[in-house]
Structure 1
C-alpha cells in the first residue's frame, strides 16, 4: 500500500501539494499510478489510482471537464508534471481540483514520471516483503506457542502483539476456548455455535444490537470444529489483519486436532473401563488403576449416571460426552466419562448423601439441554458403590434406568433405579416395536369400539385399575351405577380377551396401557 502522503515525503520526487483534498485523503490507500494525456480517460482509470499528466489535453477539454472525468472514475488524485511549455500548473486546473475536492500534486520538471512509478513499485515491494517477513515471524511464534502447550490462549497472545483486536476462540458446541480483549456472554456463544452449524458455516454474525463479528473457521479434519472470532465486521479489517487472522486460524486447526486426539484417547480408555467393570474376572482388577489415571479415587464411594436424549431423537450426539465432562469439572467432581451410541456414562467420586445425586443429575440435564437446544436429555442413576469393586451393579442399573426414561413421555428428567416401578423397568428393557405390537393387540379393539359407539371403555378400564379393582369406588368416580360398570367391563373382556376379574389378565391390561404410554 502507498499513499499520496508517502509520495510527498519522498524528497527525491520533488512534489508539492497544491490541493490537499478532504481530511485524511492524503493518507488513504492508493492502488497504482496511471499516466494519461487523453481528454477523457475515465474509462481506463481504475478506482483509487493516481493520474499522472502533463496537460497535453489542454485545448481539447477544459480543466474542469478533465477533473470531472477523474471524479467519475474515482481517481485518488492528479499529479501534474511541469514542462518547459507549462512551467507552472494552470490556475484553472488548481481551481477545478479545489472545487471538486480532488487532491492535486505538482512534480518538478527535473523528475520524470518513471521515477514516480519506480518509487511506487519499490514501496509495494517493501510492503510485500514486510508482510512476508511478518507472516514468517508470526508463524514461528505461533508454532512455538502451540509446541510449548500454550494452546488457543497462546495463539491469541501472539496475534495481539501485532494487532489490537478483540479476539476469542469458540468451538462448535459454543464453548469458549480462549479470549483476549473480548468478552462473550452465553447467548453470544450459542449464537456462534448456531452459526458454525449452518451449511455453509457463517463467516459473519450479529452478536448483539451493535456487535458484528467476523468468523475465521478452524477445522481439524475437514469439518468445522471451532472459529477464531474477531469482534469487528470484515469491512473494518484491513488486508494485513485478515491475513494474520487466517494464518492464526490455520495454526488453531493444529491445536484443535491435538485436543481431539487427546479426547479420543481419553474416551477410548473410559470405554475400556466400562468393559472391564461389566466383564468382571481378571479384567476387573485393572479398574482401580484406570480410575486413578483419571483422578478418581477407586477406594472411595463411586456413583454412576447414564445420560441420553429422549426417544424419537438420536440417543447421543457428537460432543455430548465433552459437555458432560465439562459439567462435572465445573462442579468440581472427579469423573470418568465414556461416550457411546446409546448413552454417555459418567463414573464419579461421591462422598455425599445419595439423595443429592438427583439434584446433581437435574443440573446436568439442564446444562446439556442448554447446549443442545430443542432436545430433551434424561439421566438415569444407578446408585452408589462403596468402591470400584462394586461398580458393576450401579453401572447396569443406571443404563437400564436411562433406557426406561428415554421411552417415557414427559415426567422427571432424572430418576434413580429405586424410583422406577418394577413393571416400568421391565417394559423399558423391551424392544420398542414389540411394546407397540403388544399394546395394539390388547387395546386397539377396545379403542375402535369407543370410536364407533362413542363409548368410554378405555376410561372405565383406567379408572377400574386406578381403584385397585374396587367396584363401588370405580363406579362412584365415573358417576355411573355399578351395573353400568359391570356391563362396560364385560364388554372389555369380550373385546380384549382379558377378564378383569382374573389377576393375570388384569396385569396384561395394565401393562398394555403402560406400554402404550412408553412406545
Structure 2
C-alpha cells in the first residue's frame, strides 16, 4: 500500500509533518524500534514506528534519520506519547533526507497501525499473485509449454513467503521443495519423508471423514493447511470414474500442503490457494491423460492372458507395447507384475468377489458397477505407489514414472512393470525372451531382482494405515522377473497367489513376494478356518491352559526351541535360562501334548500350529 492511503485512514491518527511530495512511496512492511541505530534490522520499504525513546538531545535526530534513509525505508511515524510533540530537529532532519514523517497521536497504539498495514499489504500481494497465477493458468493448460506446478509454488514462496508442496496419498512429493533431492525453494531444506507420510495420512483421514478442505494438520513440529486437489469442473479427477464421485475420495488424489502459523487466514489468501489447486488439477489431468495409451496396452495384454492366448500372440502385443513404455529402448525388457486389491470392510473376506459372475443380492454384496469403481480406485492407488521413487529405487523423482502400465479388472488392479536390459547384453526384439544382463537397470532395479514387497510396503504403509477407512485393507502381490511372453501368464498368476498370501496376514496394508510361494506359507492361507482351529487346539490348547494356571511360559519356550532348530544351548542362551530348566520345560510340553520334540514330524506339527494360531 502507499503512504497516501495510510494518511487518509482516519482511524490511524496519522498527521503529516513533512514529505508531502513522497506520499506515493509503497509500504511493504512495518518495523517498530527505539534503537539509536536500527540499520541492521531494516530491509527497505518499511514504515518505521518509533516511540522516540532513543532521543536524548537535538544531535540524535540527524544520525537516526540518515540510517533510515540509507536503508531505503518508506517513511517514519513518531509517537507523541513519550515527548508530547515530535521534536522540531527531527522534522528538519527528515526534510533534509526527503523522509516522510508522521506524528501518531497518543491514543492510537502502534499495534493498530501495524495490523492495518500488514493486512493491506497481504491483500495487495495476494491480488498481485492472483494475476500471476492466472497467467500461469494459461501457461500450464496446454501442457509441456507451461511452467508446471513448481513455478506456481515458487511464486507462493517468493511473493507470500509460503512454503508449499504438492503431495500424493503415499507422501510422494509431486512438486515443490520436497520433490528435489536436496533443498526446497529459496534454499530451504526439503520436506522430509516422515513428514510427507504423516501429512498424507492426515489428508486421507480427513477426506474419508467428509471434512471439507482446507483442513489443518500437525507434522514435523509445525502446523499445515491441506487443500485437496479436486477435479476441474465437468471432469472426473485422475483415477476416479464418474460413478465414484459420490463414494469415498479417490485414492489417487493429490493435495496441496502449505505450512502456516495456525492463525486465521484472510479470505483472499484462501481463494488464492484454492485457485492454485485448480491449476494443479489441470496438470494432474494432463499427466493422467498421457497414461491412457499405456493403460490400454496393459489391458489388452491382460485380456489376452485371461483368454489363454498363445505366447506368440502375447509377444506380438508386447512388441507394440515396449516402445511405448520404454521409448528408444534397443533391447528386450524384463517384465514384472504387481497385483493389488482394495477391501473396504474387514467383514468381507479378501477374495470374496474373485469368483466369476459374483452378483448383487439382497444381503448387500458388491454390484458389478461398485466393483469396477473399487478397481479403478485401486488402480489409481497402485499407480501412485509405483510412481514413488522409493518403490522403484529410482534416484530421481519420476524417473520410472512413465514406464509402468496399470489397469484393473473387476476390483483388482494389475501393473505391468518393464525392467529394461542394459546395453552390452544380448539384445533381442521386445517380448521374444532374449536374455538380459545382470547389471543395474533403469530406475535403479536390477533386472534379475526387480521390485520387492518390502519396498512397496515401505512406501505406502504409514500413510495408508492412517488413511484407509475402518476395516479397509490394501493387499499387494509381487511376481518374480520374467524374460519372455511365455513367462508373463505365470507372472500374473504368481502375483495373484502372492497377494492371497498377503491377504491372510494381519494388518491394513500387507504385501508378499514371489519368493514366499516356494515356502509352506503358500499353503497356510488356503487351510479352512475350521481345520486351522481344530489343528491348533489339539496341539496348543493344553499348553495355553497350563501357562494360564502356572505362568510357566511353555508356549514362548516352544517357539524359541523351534527357532533355535532344537539346539539346547542356543535356545537356553536366547531365553536366559539354565539348560536344565529348559529341559524341564520341554519335558513338560511333551508330557502335556503326548508329542516327542526329538522327532522331525512332531517338530513340524508344532511349527505349523504356531504359524496358524
TM-score per shorter chain, which class? 0.5 to 0.7
Residue 359 of structure 2 corresponds to residue 352 of structure 1 = no
Contact 1:301 1:349 in 2 (8 A): yes
Contact 1:172 1:226 in 2 (8 A): yes
CA shift at 1:364, angstroms? 3.8
In 1, the alpha carbon distance for the partners of 2:150 and 2:128 equals 20
In 2, the alpha carbon distance for the partners of 1:302 and 1:326 equals 18
In 2, the alpha carbon distance for the partners of 1:132 and 1:330 equals 40
CA shift at 1:372, angstroms? 3.8
In 2, the alpha carbon distance for the partners of 1:457 and 1:161 equals 62
Q: Structure 1 residues 289 and 229 mapped into 2: Cα distance closer, same or farther (>3 Å)?
A: same
Q: Which residue of 2 aligns with 1:170?
A: 166
Q: Which residue of 2 aligns with 1:386?
A: 483
Aligned residues: 402
Q: 2:134 aligns with which of 129, 139, 143?
A: 139
Q: 1:369 aligns with which of 461, 465, 486?
A: 461
**Structure-to-structure mapping, 1:24-423, within 5 angstroms:** 98-101=105-108, 138-139=133-134, 141-149=136-144, 150=146, 152-153=148-149, 156=152, 163-173=159-169, 174-179=171-176, 181=185, 183=188, 184-186=190-192, 187-199=194-206, 200=211, 201=213, 203-205=215-217, 213-220=224-231, 223=249, 225-233=253-261, 240-260=268-288, 266-267=294-295, 269-281=297-309, 284-285=314-315, 286-295=317-326, 299-304=332-337, 319-327=381-389, 328=392, 330=394, 334-338=403-407, 341=411, 345-349=415-419, 351-352=437-438, 357=449, 361-369=453-461, 371-372=463-464, 382-407=479-504, 417=514, 420-421=517-518, 423=520
Who wins on radius of gyration, i.e. which is larger?
1
In 2, the alpha carbon distance for the partners of 1:147 and 1:250 equals 14
Contact 1:385 1:394 in 2 (8 A): yes
Q: Which residue of 1 aligns with 2:360?
A: none
Contact 2:405 2:416 in 1 (8 A): yes
Q: Which residue of 1 aligns with 2:522?
A: 425
Contact 2:452 2:513 in 1 (8 A): no
Q: Which segment drifts farther, 274-283 or 264-273? A: 264-273
Q: Structure 1 residues 135 and 163 mapped into 2: Cα distance closer, same or farther (>3 Å)?
A: same
Contact 1:204 1:213 in 2 (8 A): yes
Contact 2:140 2:279 in 1 (8 A): no
Q: Structure 1 residues 259 and 160 mapped into 2: Cα distance closer, same or farther (>3 Å)?
A: same
Contact 2:225 2:258 in 1 (8 A): yes
Contact 2:342 2:475 in 1 (8 A): yes
Q: Which residue of 1 aligns with 2:31?
A: none
String of CA shifts for 1:472-503, please: whole Å, max 9, x gaps: xxxx997379xx97x9879857xxxx999999
RMSD (Å), alpha carbons: 6.0
Query: Which structure 1 segments of 5+ residues have no match?
Result: 11-15, 30-95, 104-123, 470-475
Q: Secondary structure, in 3 states, of the residue corresponding to 1:185?
A: coil
Q: TM-score, normalised by structure 2?
A: 0.48
Q: Secondary structure, in 3 states, of the residue corresponding to 2:280?
A: helix
In 2, the alpha carbon distance for the partners of 1:437 and 1:151 equals 61
CA shift at 1:346, angstroms? 4.9
Contact 1:463 1:477 in 2 (8 A): no
Q: Structure 1 residues 206 and 192 mapped into 2: Cα distance closer, same or farther (>3 Å)?
A: same
In 2, the alpha carbon distance for the partners of 1:270 and 1:405 equals 24
Query: Which structure 2 segments of 5+ residues have no match?
Result: 29-102, 111-119, 178-184, 232-236, 238-244, 351-376, 421-436, 440-445, 468-472, 567-579
CA shift at 1:142, angstroms? 0.7
In 1, the alpha carbon distance for the partners of 2:6 and 2:491 equals 79
Q: Secondary structure, in 3 states, of the residue corresponding to 2:326?
A: coil
Q: Which residue of 1 aligns with 2:37?
A: none
CA shift at 1:219, angstroms? 1.5
In 2, the alpha carbon distance for the partners of 1:257 and 1:272 equals 23
In 1, the alpha carbon distance for the partners of 2:486 and 2:438 equals 19
Residue 583 of structure 2 corresponds to residue 479 of structure 1 = yes
In 1, the alpha carbon distance for the partners of 2:278 and 2:161 equals 18
Q: Which residue of 1 aligns with 2:574?
A: none
Contact 1:212 1:233 in 2 (8 A): yes
String of CA shifts for 1:322-379, please: whole Å, max 9, x gaps: 1223332725665444567567655332642789628855434323335546799987
Q: Which segment drifts farther, 298-307 or 155-164? A: 155-164
Contact 2:167 2:257 in 1 (8 A): no
